[in-house]
């Protein structure tokens, strides 16, 4: 029995994709500019709503990314489109890098907090002290994890922008359905 090729990603994949994109952008916008300096001055992160939201969104993105990876392994498949080999390879490479960044960003944030003896501060007044875990691992001293987190945050936003431009190019110039595949079906 011949199966018709998929033209759209499933609804669960679409929700994961767009929710992750929105939350990453919101976390980037709310990312405190001088977080490290504030913490070194003894400022309690719970007194800054932007910090609390940024960290809460970061944890949410981490959980969504893990759930999304599980879903990718369970779903029946995803659409494939005819395109030049260099486009297919660069698209797959970009996706791998974005996935890696979605996992690395929260990890570097947790390492930064633990190595600076600053608690993870979430909405609802939840605070988690990561210092003992980071100190016990010895990984906290490898680098300035706050700087690494900031750099990776900038990189993911630039690459997500490139990803969006590529999707628009596929839609406007190539008219191949790549962008539409991540949107809900019409009718």
Residue 72 included in any domain? yes
Nearest-10 Cα torsion for 27, 17, 86, 94: 30
- Residue 62's CATH number: 1.20.950.20
Number of domains, the chain = 1
CA 156 to chain centre: 7
Question: pTM of the predicted model, to two decimals?
Answer: 0.89
pLDDT of residue 160: 97
Q: In three state form, how does the secondary structure of 62-88 look?
A: HHHHHHHHHHHHHCCCCCCCCCCHHHH
What Rg do the C-alpha atoms of the chain give, in angstroms?
A: 19
Strand blocks (E) in 46-170: 120-122, 126-128
- Would you report the helix, strand and coil content of the chain in percent, each value rounded to 5? 70, 5, 25
Residue 78 included in any domain? yes
pLDDT of residue 1: 46
Of 3, 31, 7, which Cα lies nearest the Cα of 183?
7
**CA dihedral (67, 73, 74, 75) positive or negative:** positive
Collect the ranges in the chain with pLDDT lower than 50. Answer: 1-2
pLDDT of residue 131: 86
Owning domain of residue 90 = 11-182
Distance separating the N- and C-terminal Cα atoms of the chain: 26
């Amino acid at each position: 029995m011949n199966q018709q090729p998929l033209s759209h990603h499933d609804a669960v994949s679409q929700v994961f994709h767009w929710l992750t994109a929105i939350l990453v952008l919101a976390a980037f916008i709310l990312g405190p500019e001088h977080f490290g300096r504030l913490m070194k001055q003894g400022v309690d992160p719970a007194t800054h709503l932007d910090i609390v939201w940024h960290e809460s969104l970061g944890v949410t993105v981490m959980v969504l990314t893990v759930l999304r990876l599980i879903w990718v392994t369970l779903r029946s498949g995803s659409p494939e489109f005819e395109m030049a080999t260099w486009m297919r390879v660069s698209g797959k490479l970009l996706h791998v890098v974005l996935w890696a960044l979605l996992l690395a960003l929260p990890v570097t944030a947790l390492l930064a907090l633990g190595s600076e003896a600053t608690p993870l501060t979430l909405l609802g007044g939840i605070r988690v002290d990561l210092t003992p875990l980071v100190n016990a691992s010895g990984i906290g001293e490898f680098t300035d994890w706050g700087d690494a987190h900031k750099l990776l945050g900038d990189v993911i936003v630039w690459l997500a922008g490139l990803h969006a431009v590529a999707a628009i190019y596929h839609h406007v110039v190539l008219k191949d359905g790549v962008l539409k595949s991540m949107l809900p079906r019409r009718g």
